[in-house]
Copies of this chain bind each other. A is one copy, B any other.
Amino acid sequence: MKNGKPITLGEFELIRQIQQQAGTAEHLLLGIGDDCAIQRQATDQELLISTDLLIEGVHFDLRWTSLEDLGRKAVAVNLSDIAAMGGTPLSLFLGVGCPQRLSSDDLQQFSRGFLSEAAKYSAVLAGGDTCRSPGPLLISVTVQGCCARGRAIRRSGAAVGDAIYVSGTLGDSALALQQLQRGEVPLRELASRHHTPQARIALGAQLAKQRLASAMLDVSDGLLGDLGHIADQSSVGAVIELNRLPLSTAFRAVLAQNPQLIDLALTGGEDYELLFTSKAQDLEQQADLSPGVTRIGSITAAAGIQCRWPDQSLYQCERGGFDHFA
């Protein structure tokens, strides 16, 4: 990055290059290059839309993230919001505010990561905006997806007695980030959870199709904070059984040295796993869910989120969830 040439492409030339690589899709009547993209609509489908900002120094650090990985992550974390509704991705809209220090090679690496990750989920880049940034590298992504009418899984549907499930493992991304910030080199399996998270599109769509989830979101701010959103919007409480938290082998190895790190699994954030509630109490056994899910607790009538050890003692987490304005 530091040795790259400064950007020499004009804005329109850059857009044209990305446009040529952006691909097409059946739903997209007109892609990049006009005032708006034009999309076909389908009345048996509902449209899902989400928008995210990624700011250098807040959401990512180019000292340890490559531009290509950043492009991948920008797609995955946004598609994760589509997964969290049980939807299927359609289109992406990308804004890039680019500081002078980045070269056109850097931008092309970012584009390569962005477009290849989008293609993995059959999402097409349908529009964008590029400009100079006088400060940090800025990325805004808006994603559109769809789901069958009435099937989107909201945060507000959890009911007392529902089991709480989470996909994959928790805390890996936060642990990798903590190690990076300390100048340590995380194990590859931890680092990849931080740099190139996966959007759980297939799992979310399956849960929606089979009507298995009563409420769902993706864990971006940390398990406790995000479960709090489900609890608030469903007007319920929850109990988490700490010994059930799904943790990777790499995470368990570090946790054995420092038990306080359990907080990273509870509040670390950037897991991008699906957190959902369900009437079904045995989804853990369901072999066709990929990635597998773990039952970590249940929804209660009493407000608040309790974390409980097997001996019924309560655990008070030290770290709050991440709040950008706290």
B136 with A51: CB separation less than 8 A: no
Q: How far is the CB of A92 from chain B (nearest CB, A)?
A: 10
* Nearest B residue (CB) for A56: B134
A41-B43, A326-B10 known; A128-B36 Cβ under 8 A:
no
B138 with A49: CB separation less than 8 A: no
Measured CA separation A87–B58 after assembly (Å) = 36
Q: Which of the listed residues A50, A87, A152 has the most CB atoms from chain B within 10 Å of its own CB?
A: A50
* Residue A11, interface by CB 8 Å: yes
Contacts of A164 in B (CB 8 A): none
Q: How far is the CB of A220 from chain B (nearest CB, A)?
A: 9
Question: Interface stretch among A78-86, A177-185, A246-254, A299-307?
Answer: A78-86
Contacts of A323 in B (CB 8 A): 10-12
Taking CB atoms and an 8 Å cut-off, the chain A residues in 22-57 that contact chain B are 29-30, 33-43, 45-53, 55-57
A9 with B155: CB separation less than 8 A: no
Contact partner of A43 (CB less than 8 A), chosen from B34, B43, B82, B218, is B43
Contacts of A46 in B (CB 8 A): 29, 38-41
A83-113 interface mask toward B, CB cutoff 8 Å, 1 = contact, 0 = none? 0110100010111111000000000000000
A38-B85, A41-B45, A48-B36 known; A130-B11 Cβ under 8 A:
no
By a beta-carbon cutoff of 8 Å, the part of chain A in contact with chain B is 7, 9-12, 14, 29-30, 33-43, 45-53, 55-59, 81-82, 84-85, 87, 91, 93-98, 126-136, 138, 140, 142, 144-145, 152, 154-156, 216-218, 233, 323-326
Contacts of A37 in B (CB 8 A): 48-50
Q: List 25 A-B contacts (CB under 8 A).
A: A7-B325, A10-B323, A10-B325, A30-B152, A34-B155, A34-B156, A35-B81, A35-B85, A39-B48, A42-B43, A43-B43, A49-B127, A51-B94, A51-B127, A51-B129, A53-B96, A53-B97, A57-B135, A58-B132, A93-B142, A130-B324, A131-B324, A132-B324, A132-B325, A135-B136
Measured CA separation A232–B309 after assembly (Å) = 67
Q: How far is the CB of A233 from chain B (nearest CB, A)?
A: 7
Contacts of A325 in B (CB 8 A): 7, 9-11, 14, 98, 130, 132
Q: How far is the CB of A243 from chain B (nearest CB, A)?
A: 28
Q: How far is the CB of A111 from chain B (nearest CB, A)?
A: 14
Q: How far is the CB of A86 from chain B (nearest CB, A)?
A: 10
Q: How far is the CB of A89 from chain B (nearest CB, A)?
A: 11
Contacts of A96 in B (CB 8 A): 53
